[in-house]
Structure 1
Amino acid sequence: MTPQPPTPALPSWLTWWQRPFPDANALLLPGQRPALVDTGFVGHADETAAWARAHAGNIDLVVNTHWHSDHVGGNALLQAQGAGIAAGTPEAEAISRRDPGCCAAEYLDQPVAPYTVDVPLDDGQVLRLGDADWEVVRTPGHTPGHLALWQPEERLLVVGDALSDYDVGWVNLALDGPDAAATALASLNRMADLGPCRILPSHGPIPADSAAAFAAALLRAQRLVDDPAGAVWYGARRIFAFALMIRDGIPADEVESYLHDRAWLADAARLLDVTAEVLAAELVTTMLGSGAIVLRDGRIHAAAHHTPVAPEALFLPRPRAWPTAEPH
């Protein structure tokens, strides 16, 4: 077997926290303007805020790579503690309107505590985070407002959910249109062209070989372009597994009825030209068969390693009910 190159060391002026699902990894940038990139799941917001304060003091700015629940869950608490929130302009504008589609929270059935975006971010914008300047790189695909952060001196790239050491981000062809997979592929090519020495993904470890990670991701992303039905299935599996993680599983006799009530499943069924009932049954059967989910003590659980979530964390208002708030 060919030896793998060692993972390049990270600069001493940043702190990296690799977290299991349902939290995204966190990047902390201490210094004159302490900043945190992504804040994990709402059920672990206290842990996120305490960790950030312990390593950097008061956080001045939170930057979100995108608005999914595993990336913005600590926003509300950190904002209440004095942090500003920065996010890609399309998502910032929707949050300012309190759009019912904010964070895809209702659509995905994932809780997010109400927050406001203080700093909309556009492509090419330069941010001072900690003691270094970072460039905003628009990378739509996984979500329309997804962004990466580029530190040119260190050739360090924060890639969000665009890719990881083992995967690429799922795309929503129902909400974002049939070209969403091609958009994600174009974003991957744009990031690869930067030639980063190190990439920091939102899930999993830091890849030992950035070029190899991009090469693999581009092949995976091309498959999603070439096989739209496969892209729909891929997204459905990811969303369902996350639902199981944050709920400590779902009773086996209730899991299909839970799926029948989900907007994302109805959309997936429409794109696949099957009924929601057929898709729900097939989703459970195929994921049990592959080992992605398991039956244990009468409940269906996600098989992937994840951190438990307290049940009360799930009962938050949907964005349509979020109070209107002035920017922080």
Structure 2
Amino acid sequence: MKTAEILFFERPFPSANSIVIQDNQSFIIDTGFGSDIVRTEKLLIEAGILPKQLNGIINTHYHSDHVGGNHYFQRQYNLPIAAHLWEGKMVNRCDFESCSAHYLDQPVEQYVVQQLLVDEEEINTGHSVLQVLHTPGHTLGHISLYEPKQQILICGDLFHHNDVGWLNIFREGANSLGRSYESLERLAKLSIKKAYPGHGRAIDDPLVMIDKARERLEKWMESPEKMAWHACKRIFSFTLMLKNGLTKQDITPYLLSCGWFYDFAVHAFHTEPKEFVQPLLDEMIRSKAAIWEQDKLMASAPYEEPDSQWIANDWKPNNWIK
């Protein structure tokens, strides 16, 4: 029985992984970070995939590391984009909250969503069918894609190998933890042989990883502060990658300008933002999420430095054209 070919591109930060479905209708799922577009295009071409031969883009959710290549592919190759209804509508009306770009200080160039997906919708590629599963938690409009013939799951940032996507109750709702748990419960009922996450390696034991993810969320339910620390470290680490480090004198003014930092300091840790700077720095060093290199705080996870000129353009929804 012929099925679609699935190509998995594990990518270093700041880009998320990309997956290509090759069939009569071919799609790229998640296009990486915006400044990585040259690398993204090269990955495809080296794998024998001409971007102009793709039939479209599917996004698991609208964070910058997953949708950053959308603008280029749409402008250069006229590729249509599919995303969950809730997030697609926000992007199309240039909503200030789109992609959480302002809140997280993560640039995203403008794009337009042509296909607004809903739960249990099916995308027929020719020899396979991708089932759209609404799996909220990491974002409200997060989706996973399930291919039942090969029993393959594309899970975005719902869960990774021995990890889960960070959760933000201040932008995704107070029950984002509960939603994420319910999404994992739903996936646990499927027959899955292999899963492709948004970050890290492909998962050969997906049901085991789903169980581990549920166990972690259960611990967070008992101790929400752990969930908050996980989110803060993930967001700040990504910032350090985008800026290729921050100097000691720049850290405090930068953090105090960030919406996410204010929310977590005041509402999760019940402290004044200025008083939360040092505890966050201490935890970044203690957990080895960051290291000091002379007077700069650097992310410790491997990453490829983004183009500084591209970052300086500050692509955000308030600069998009309606």
TM-score grouping bracket, smaller chain normalisation: over 0.9
Q: String of CA shifts for 1:11-67, please: whole Å, max 9, x gaps.
A: 881211111111111101123222100000011012213333453222211000000
Conserved 8 A contact 1:62-1:84: yes
Q: String of CA shifts for 1:93-118, please: whole Å, max 9, x gaps.
A: 11111100000001000010110001
1:137 matched to 2:133? yes
Aligned partner of 2:58 in structure 1 is 63
Helix, strand or coil at the partner of 2:81? strand
1:197 alignment partner, one of 193, 201, 216: 193
Aligned partner of 1:173 in structure 2 is 169
Aligned partner of 1:7 in structure 2 is none
Aligned partner of 2:109 in structure 1 is 113
How far is the alpha carbon of 1:177 from its aligned partner?
A: 2.4
After superposition, residues 206-245 of structure 1 pair within 5 angstroms as 206-245=202-241
- Residues in 1 aligned to 2:212 and 2:162: alpha-carbon distance in whole angstroms: 8
The 1:51/1:130 distance shift into structure 2, 3 A limit, reads farther
Q: String of CA shifts for 1:141-169, please: whole Å, max 9, x gaps.
A: 00000000000111101000000112101
Aligned partner of 1:17 in structure 2 is 9
Deviates more, 1:172-181 or 1:158-167: 172-181
Conserved 8 A contact 1:106-1:318: yes
Q: String of CA shifts for 1:117-149, please: whole Å, max 9, x gaps.
A: 010100010012474210000000000000000
Q: TM-score, with normalisation over the residues of structure 1?
A: 0.92
Conserved 8 A contact 1:49-1:74: no
After superposition, residues 1-328 of structure 1 pair within 5 angstroms as 13-54=5-46, 55-57=48-50, 58=52, 59-80=54-75, 81-129=77-125, 131-271=127-267, 272-314=269-311, 315-324=313-322
Conserved 8 A contact 1:200-1:206: yes
Q: String of CA shifts for 1:287-316, please: whole Å, max 9, x gaps.
A: 112221001032100001111111112123
Helix, strand or coil at the partner of 2:159? coil
Conserved 8 A contact 1:33-1:131: no
How far is the alpha carbon of 1:195 from its aligned partner?
A: 2.5
- Residues in 2 aligned to 1:248 and 1:258: alpha-carbon distance in whole angstroms: 14
Query: Any runs of at least 4 consecutive aligned residues in structure 1 with deviations exceeding 4 A, and if so which?
Result: none
- Residues in 2 aligned to 1:183 and 1:103: alpha-carbon distance in whole angstroms: 19
- Residues in 2 aligned to 1:174 and 1:12: alpha-carbon distance in whole angstroms: 39
Q: Which runs of 5+ in 1 are unaligned?
A: 1-10
Q: TM-score, with normalisation over the residues of structure 2?
A: 0.94
Q: String of CA shifts for 1:170-215, please: whole Å, max 9, x gaps.
A: 1111122221101111001111111211111111111231221111
Deviates more, 1:250-259 or 1:94-103: 250-259
